Amino acid sequence: MPRPRDDDFATRVVAWFAGAARPLPWRAADLSPWAVLVSEFMLQQTQAARVVPFWERWMARWPTPAALASEPAAEALRAWDRLGYPRRALWLHAAATELVERHGGEVPRGLDALLALKGVGPYTARAVAAFAFGDRHPVVDTNTRRVIARAIDGVAVAAPPSAARDLPAMERLLPADREAAHAFNAGAMELGATVCTARTPRCDECPVAALCAWRAAGYPPHEGPRRRTQARFEGSDRQLRGRVMRELRAAHTPVPRGELAALEPDETRLDRVLASLVADGLAVGAVDGYALPHN
């Protein structure tokens, strides 16, 4: 049973969300579960505002899993364009194929069936279950994790993601009512994304400022080990992978290795990157060069 204070917390977030929610297109009423699934793939590690145009084009072109599954993976990779982490496009295409072959072309409703899809983890499975089907599950993303860390735990920085800890923590706050739970899941994420932001939280606009443990404690700074610093992107293999993929997307015939060599003078590095792309299924190598995968 939620404690009274938790009920108050959820009630305030839900009320705030009703008036403050951004009009993101995947929040429209009566969307298909497929539309929600596509949005969740695109939103992984990608800001919502940047996803909007990609999602609009994708849904216009492939309104059903069957529509996507009927085209080669190369087309999914081209439509993904520069959204980042192109493996997501590959996995979404694979998921669409699996939906057609094993689920009658529909997104399954159960958590276990969702988790079995490639590219669907603890967050995405619950987000689809909650937002597409209205089922009551705790949904915890990086925004929610930060809101809970600050408002409930009173610390500046959330612990690294851990389903074993995050889901029970959200479950304790989640209203019993289905619709209220849906609104709280979405509202907590929105609060973290627009008010309780990582850098400069806007506590003067926060609906739960009066309940916030971090605020009550005087905004204590983060203690303990810093988050692992992300490897430098400039000059990285990741950057080169992106550049190679860009060439492959633009070409409709295999790109000779000699042409790709213009991207990178160090042939050892180029070959390492090409091998990694092939290993990931993002590219296929043939005698006449490299191309996007057909299947």
Partner DNA sequence: AAAGCGGGGTC
Partner DNA sequence: GACCCAGCTTT
Closest CA to 9 of 223, 196, 217: 196
CA angle 160, 134, 152 (to 5 degrees): 35
Distances (CA, A) of 176 to 10, 46, 187: 11, 30, 15
**Distance between CA 67 and CA 233 in Å, rounded?**
35
Return the number of the residue (40 or 264) whose C-beta is nearest DNA.
40
- What is the distance between the alpha carbons of residues 282 and 292, in angstroms, rounded to a whole number? 6
List the structure tokens of 269.
């590095």
66 or 159: whose CB is closer to DNA? 159
Residue type, 68: L
Is 40 an active-site residue? yes
CB of 11 to DNA, least distance (A): 21
| Minimum CB distance to DNA, residue 48 (Å) | 4
- Decide: 67 and 79 in contact? Cβ < 8 Å: no
In whole angstroms, how close is the CB of 8 to DNA at the nearest point?
A: 24
Q: What span, in angstroms and rounded, lies between the C-alpha atoms of 182 and 175?
A: 9
Catalytic residue of the set 40, 56, 71, 264: 40
By beta-carbon proximity to DNA, the closer residue of 233 and 287 is: 233
Q: Please tell me the distance from the alpha carbon of residue 220 to that of residue 209, in angstroms, as a whole number.
A: 15
Least distance to DNA, CB of residue 156, Å: 9
Going by DSSP bridges, is the β-strand pair 284-286/289-291 parallel, antiparallel, or unpaired?
A: antiparallel
Nearer to DNA by C-beta: 48 or 181? 48
- CB-nearer residue toward DNA: 218 or 226: 226
Cα 22 off chain centre by = 17
Residue 284 phi/psi, 5° resolution? -125, 140
Closer residue to DNA, CB minimum distance, 2 or 25:
25
Binding site for DNA (CB under 7 A): 24, 26-27, 39-40, 43-50, 82-87, 91, 118-125, 127, 141-143, 146, 157, 160-162, 186, 189-190, 192-193, 197-200, 226-233, 236-239, 241-243, 245-246, 276
DSSP output for 128-152: HHHHTT--------HHHHHHIIIII
- What is the set of active-site residues? 40
